[in-house]
Amino acid sequence: MGPLRSVVLAGGGTGGHIYPLLAFADALRRHFPQIRITTLGSPKGMENQLIPAAGYDLRSIPAFQLPRSLNLDLLRTPDRMYRSAHAAGEIIDEVEAEVVVGFGGYVSVPAYLAAWRRELPIVIHEVNVPPGVANRMGMKFTKRVAVGFPHQLEQAEALRNARLVGVPLRTGITHMDRPALRPQALYHFGLRPDLPVLFVSGGSSGARTINLAVAAAAKRLAHAGIQVLHVQGGRNDPFEVPNDLPVPYVVVPYLSDMQLGYAAADLMLCRGGAITVAETTALGMPAIYVPYPFSNQEQRRNALPVVEAGGGLLVDNSELTPDWIERNIIPLARDRQRLAQMGTAAAGYGRRDGDEQLLRFVLEAVS
Ligand SMILES: CC(=O)N[C@H]1[C@@H](OP(=O)(O)OP(=O)(O)OC[C@H]2O[C@@H](n3ccc(=O)[nH]c3=O)[C@H](O)[C@@H]2O)O[C@H](CO)[C@@H](O)[C@@H]1O
C-alpha cells in the first residue's frame, strides 16, 4: 500500500489517554511526513492544553456523559451521543480519514460510532484491566484491539484476542540517556549532584494522599540527606513544605518535560497509572507504586508484574504515611546497590517500541 494520508486519533480526559496518542502521532509523522493528523477531544479535558502544545490539530466535539458501566441503550437513544457522533463524522469526512485510532476516554465513543457507520477501519488501543467503558463500547465495532501489557491478555476476557503492542511513549523518554541528561536535569531543578533524589508524581492529575504524606515527611527525608522533586499534578491543591530544610525539596505544579524529572531521579514514588508504569519500566527506574484505590484495582494490576519481577515496591494508599516513608523509602533511597538491582529488574519488564508496534498494527488494518 501507499503512504497513509489522513488519520483521525481520538482520546481525551487525562494524560493517560493523551500522551500515548501524541507519541503515536509522532510515529505517524516520522514515517509519513506528509500525513494529515486530526485529533478529536472533548471541550474540557487535558487534551486542550497538551495537544496544541505538541503542535497537532485538535477538534473538539460536543461533550456527553458516559455511564461508569457499559450500557448499550446509550447508543440507541440519547440525542447528545448522536450529536457528538455526527460532529465526529463531519470531521472524518472533511479530512478524508482512512482510519480512526482510539485511545479511550469518552470522546472516543462518537469517533468509533461515526467510523463504523462509514465502514472505516477502527483500531483501539487499551492499557487498563478492566478496559475503559469507552473502549469497551468501541469493541462492539471492531476486533482490532491493541494492548499495552501482557497481563491484560490474561486478565480481561474482552482482551484475550488483542494484539500486544506495548504503549506508545514519547521519544524524549524512550530515547533518553539518563546518566547523560542527569547533570542538566539536576541543575534545572536546583538539586545537588551528591545526594539521592526522590521523584514524586501522582500521575497527570496528581494524588492528594501522596502529596500530603510526602510533604509531611519532608523534614525526615531532608535530615536523612534525601532530596525531593515533587510534582503536584494538574488538578491538585497546593500543599505546605517547611522552608528551612537542610537539603532541597523542590515542588513543581506540572512537568511538561517529564524526562527531566526522570533524569534527575534515583527513585520514584508514584501511582500505578498505565502510562507511568510503561515509562518507569522503559527507563529502568526503580519505583514505589501506590495504586489509586478507587478504580477497580486497575493500577494495582499495572504495578504488580513489575513488583513481582523485582522492579519496585507496592504500598496501599492507606499505608502510605510519613512513618512508612521513613521506614521504607529512606533506607532504599540511600542503598545504591539495591536501587541498581531494582532498576535492572524494571527494565527487564519495560518496552520502548510501542509506537512502532501500534503503527504496524494500524497499517495492517488499512491494507
Ligand atoms: C485515577 C485514574 O483513573 N488514573 C488513570 C489515568 O491515569 P493518569 O492520567 O494519571 O495517567 P498515567 O499515570 O497512566 O500517565 C500519566 C502521564 O502523564 C505524564 N505526566 C505526569 C505528570 C507530569 O507532571 N507531567 C507528565 O507529563 C506522565 O509522564 C505520563 O505519561 O489513566 C491511566 C491510563 O489510562 C490509568 O491507568 C489510570 O488508572
128 assigned to a ligand binding site: yes
Residue 299, annotated as binding a ligand: yes
Q: State the pLDDT at residue 75.
A: 55
pLDDT of residue 66: 67
CA 285/CA 281 separation, integer angstroms? 6
In whole angstroms, give the CA distance from residue 154 to residue 150.
7
Residue of 26, 268, 276, 283 to mutate, ligand 1, most atoms within 8 A of C-beta: 276
> What confidence tier does 331 reach under pLDDT thresholds 50, 70, 90?
very high
Share of the chain above pLDDT 70, in %: 95
- Span from the CA of 290 to the centroid of ligand 1 (angstroms): 13
Inform me whether the pLDDT recorded for 347 exceeds 70.
yes
- Of 128, 169, 204, best ligand 1 pocket probe by most atoms within 8 Å of the beta carbon: 204
Class of the CATH-defined domain 6-169+352-366: alpha beta
The per-residue pLDDT for range 37-69, each reduced to its tens digit, is: 999 999 888 999 999 999 999 999 987 766 655
How far, in Å, is the centroid of ligand 1 from the Cα of 246?
32
pLDDT at 70 over 60: no
The three cell numbers of residue 135 are 473502549
pLDDT band at 79 (very low <50, low <70, confident <90, very high): confident
Task: Check whether 334 is labelled as a binding-site residue.
Answer: no
Position 106 scores a pLDDT of: 86
Q: Cell numbers for 148, please give them.
A: 499495552
pLDDT digits (tens, 9 = 90+) for 131-184: 999 999 999 999 999 999 999 999 999 999 999 999 999 999 999 999 999 999
The CATH architecture assigned to 176-349 reads 3-Layer(aba) Sandwich (3.40)
pLDDT at 236 over 80: no
Give burial (CB, 10 Å; 0-12/13-18/19+) of 186. Answer: buried
Q: 76 pLDDT exceeds 60? A: no
What nine digits make up the cell of 149? 501489557
Query: Helix, strand or coil for residue 200?
Result: strand
Q: What is the DSSP letter of 252?
A: E
Residue ranges lining ligand 1, Cβ < 6 Å: 14-17, 19, 127-128, 201, 203-205, 231, 254-255, 258, 271, 273-276, 279, 292, 295, 298-299, 302
Using alpha carbons, select from 134, 131, 133, 121 the residue that is nearest to residue 159.
131
pLDDT single digits (tens) 265-303: 999 999 999 999 999 999 999 999 999 998 879 999 999
**Residue with CA closest to ligand 1 atom 25:** 255
Where do the H-state alpha helices sit in the chain?
Answer: 15-31, 47-53, 73-76, 79-95, 108-117, 133-138, 150-155, 171-174, 178-189, 208-216, 218-223, 258-264, 274-283, 298-308, 322-324, 330-333, 336-349, 354-366
Q: What is the pLDDT confidence band of residue 73, given thresholds at 50, 70 and 90?
A: low
- Tell me the torsion sign for CA atoms 5, 176, 150, 267: negative
**ipTM of this complex:** 0.99
- Topology agreement, domain 6-169+352-366 and domain 176-349: yes
Summarize pLDDT for 3-32 with one digit per residue, the tens.
899 999 999 988 899 999 999 999 999 999
Residues 244-267: tens digit of each pLDDT: 999 999 999 999 999 999 999 999
How many Å lie between the centroid of ligand 1 and the Cα of residue 2? 35
User: Which atom from ligand 1 is nearest to the alpha carbon of 257?
Assistant: 27
- Domain limits, the chain: 6-169+352-366, 176-349
Residue located nearest, by CA, to atom 1 of ligand 1: 292
The Cα-based distances of 234 to 132, 183, 271 in angstroms read 21, 26, 14
> Model confidence over 94-140: pLDDT tens digits?
999 999 999 999 899 999 999 999 999 999 999 999 999 999 999 99
- pLDDT for the residue numbered 204: 87
